Homo-oligomer: A and B are copies of this chain.
Amino acid sequence: MSHIKPEETLMLLIDHQSGLFQLVKDIPVPDLRRNAIALAKVATLLQIPVITSASVPDGPNGPLIPEIHQAAPHAQYVGRRGEINVWDSADFVKAVEATGRKTLILAGTLTSVCMAFPSISAVAAGYKVYAVVDASGNSSVMGTDLTIARIVQAGVIPIDTLAVISELQQTWNRPDAMAFADIYADFNMPHYRLLIESYDKAQAVQKAKT
């Protein structure tokens, strides 16, 4: 397996909007929100460029959740003129091309549409696309099952947030390892925080003995 290389990768976070999140039924919304933020955090950590967009944010779809740009202050927001498939926006594709990167990590709400359409378009345009399904969010579980089948058929690589972060991290033997641990514990896998708490306590107890 050739790793996802941070220096060749661009992250696209599409339509993570508070209104659309109310429609999500395939994953608990808090999990979705934490996963999307985790992606933004890891992009910042590894200096991966990020492009965001929103679908008609002045209407019922609502605003982008604020944590995305908070976690990735370097992210570039590209508005669009109503296009549903972000890849139909000339501005958006131009912004993607400007980065010169050919590997895309893409998540979008709703999965069947905002994630699936640009993923398939980008593969058709010659990109290698990782579609992060658990950082997307769909209006039904059946819709997500169908979408996974469809994008695989089209050559998109399906993946979850955990695998994205781990593949980018590559090794625990790096100076920023603790920053990764915090992303897992605070966002992607809350049970990991429990492990750290218990571990620290067990060592503190032992230390106090000696």
Contacts and interface: CB of A to CB of B under 8 A. Distances in A.
A143 interface: yes
Interface string A136-147: 000110111111
B112 A162 contact: yes
Interface residues of A, number: 91
A78 interface: no
B148 A83 contact: no
Interface stretch (A42-50, A98-106, A190-198): A190-198
Given A134-B143, A148-B145, A201-B62, A191 B1 contact: no
26 contacts: A1-B87, A22-B194, A23-B192, A26-B142, A28-B28, A29-B191, A29-B194, A58-B205, A61-B195, A62-B195, A81-B171, A84-B171, A84-B172, A110-B162, A112-B162, A113-B163, A134-B142, A142-B144, A143-B162, A143-B163, A153-B157, A195-B198, A202-B203, A202-B206, A203-B203, A206-B206
Interface of A: 1-3, 18-19, 21-23, 26-31, 33, 55-63, 65-66, 81-85, 87-88, 110, 112-113, 116-117, 120-121, 124, 133-134, 139-140, 142-150, 152-154, 157-160, 162-163, 166-167, 169-174, 177, 188-199, 201-203, 205-207, 210
